[in-house]
């Protein structure tokens, strides 16, 4: 770029550049005057959106696991897939190909589903995690970009296996009474509270996003130990699923941490705000473009360019989490109506990366930022 070349000959370079740029500027001015240029800046118009590049990747970057950037602006390498069907979970909307994550998150989801089953929850219905190489998505989710976020439906997994085709259509079920901020007592049960409490006990889970109405229900009903409520953070949406987020993992020097959650159960003033009109007013600018519609590769950490061009594993199966144990019979991509695998992944079967689960201090979500449109 101009101004970056140094040393001898710089003056003649500058002159050359100056004359080139002034000629180019004159040409652009002429085009603009003729109405032949779009109003958008030329660079932005020419550069492909990051959501299209990352959204078309079918396989992860086959390098060491590493999250790069922030939950809402980044990418990751070394992703592994959660099997679409496990003994204690089902991946929902499997055609989206968003069952990819950092190995630490994928093995934690497996463990969470097993622990939940042991306390009586029939199994987890797991929603979106990340794209194979993370990055912004063509639809939904501002975050989920660095392989450390996962959505889990509030509905328990059905006792009978659901086919992959059915999982594309199973409707989302809100836990709220229609047009209200209060949970529907016919759907919300003490088992839901126990499930969220279990999620909050894992030190690697730093925060859990739920609808403010669900947070209120917990604030009103949880007795005894309430310290775990600190991780339960109210946020728009999240009435038919909750969102778990783990912290930056070892080996990810370019992963940007979030600020710590405030101490306390979060049931006081910050929650009261959600029960005022302010958070629910219609957006003043509903047609404003979303971040994903503006983000080019230049918006992401520069390391994400290399993530896009990194080699792939040979297949989805080669990058699917199997727990590293020979007694694990979890299919990578079971046929529709395949029986649910019975094996339970043992603690000893966790992959080497699981030992990277260094306990992290409890931290929380930032206070409300501009409301997402979905
Ligand atoms: Zn989410």
pLDDT by residue for the chain (374 residues), tens only, comes to 333 333 333 344 444 444 444 444 454 444 444 444 444 444 445 689 999 999 999 999 999 999 999 999 999 999 999 999 999 999 999 999 999 999 999 999 999 999 999 999 999 999 999 999 999 999 888 899 999 999 999 999 999 999 999 999 999 999 999 999 999 999 999 999 999 999 999 999 999 999 999 999 999 999 999 999 999 999 999 999 999 999 999 999 999 999 888 889 999 888 999 999 999 988 888 888 888 889 999 999 999 999 999 999 999 999 999 874 333 233 334 445 555 655 333 333 333 232 222 222 233 333 333 344 33
φ/ψ of residue 85, rounded to 5: -135, 130
* 8 CA to centre of ligand 1 in angstroms: 55
* 151 CA to centre of ligand 1 in angstroms: 5
Taking the whole predicted model, whether its pTM rises above 0.85 is answered as no
* 207 CA to centre of ligand 1 in angstroms: 11
Residues with beta carbon < 5 A to ion ligand 1? 151, 243
* 225 CA to centre of ligand 1 in angstroms: 26
* 72 CA to centre of ligand 1 in angstroms: 11
Report pLDDT for 19.
43
Cα separation of 249 and 241, whole Å?
24
* 38 CA to centre of ligand 1 in angstroms: 35
* 23 CA to centre of ligand 1 in angstroms: 50
* 221 CA to centre of ligand 1 in angstroms: 25
* 141 CA to centre of ligand 1 in angstroms: 6
* 216 CA to centre of ligand 1 in angstroms: 20
* 209 CA to centre of ligand 1 in angstroms: 8
């Amino acid at each position: 770029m101009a101004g970056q070349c140094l040393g001898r000959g710089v003056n003649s370079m500058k002159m050359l550049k100056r004359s080139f740029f002034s000629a180019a500027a004159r040409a652009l001015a002429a085009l603009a005057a003729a109405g032949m240029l779009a109003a958008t800046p030329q660079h932005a118009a020419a550069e492909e959106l990051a959501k299209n590049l990352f959204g078309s990747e079918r396989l992860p970057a086959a390098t060491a696991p590493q999250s790069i950037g922030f939950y809402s602006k980044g990418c990751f390498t070394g992703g592994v897939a959660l099997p679409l069907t496990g003994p204690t979970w089902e991946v929902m909307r499997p055609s989206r190909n968003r069952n990819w994550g950092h190995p630490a998150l994928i093995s934690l989801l497996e463990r969470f589903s097993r622990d939940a089953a042991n306390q009586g929850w029939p199994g987890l219905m797991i929603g979106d995690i990340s794209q194979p190489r993370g990055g912004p998505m063509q639809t939904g989710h501002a975050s989920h970009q660095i392989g450390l976020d996962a959505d889990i439906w509030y509905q328990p997994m059905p006792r009978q296996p659901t086919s992959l085709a059915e999982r594309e259509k199973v409707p989302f079920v809100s836990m709220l009474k229609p047009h209200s901020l209060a949970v529907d007592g016919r759907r919300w049960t003490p088992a839901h509270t126990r499930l969220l409490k279990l999620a909050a006990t894992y030190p690697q889970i730093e925060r859990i996003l739920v609808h403010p109405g669900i947070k209120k229900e917990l604030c009103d009903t949880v007795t005894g130990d309430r310290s775990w409520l600190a991780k339960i953070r109210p946020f728009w949406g999240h009435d038919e699923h909750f969102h778990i987020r783990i912290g930056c993992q070892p080996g990810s020097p370019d992963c940007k941490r979030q600020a710590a959650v405030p101490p306390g159960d979060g049931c006081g003033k910050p929650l009261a705000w959600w029960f005022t009109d302010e958070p629910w007013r219609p957006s003043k600018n509903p047609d404003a473009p979303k971040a994903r519609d503006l983000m080019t590769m230049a918006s992401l950490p520069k390391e994400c360019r290399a993530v896009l061009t990194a080699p792939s594993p040979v297949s989805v199966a080669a990058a699917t989490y199997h727990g590293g144990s020979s007694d694990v019979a979890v299919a990578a991509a079971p046929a529709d109506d395949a029986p649910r695998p019975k094996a339970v992944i043992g603690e000893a079967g966790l992959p080497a990366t699981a030992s990277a689960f260094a306990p992290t201090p409890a931290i929380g979500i930032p206070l409300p930022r501009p409301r997402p449109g979905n």
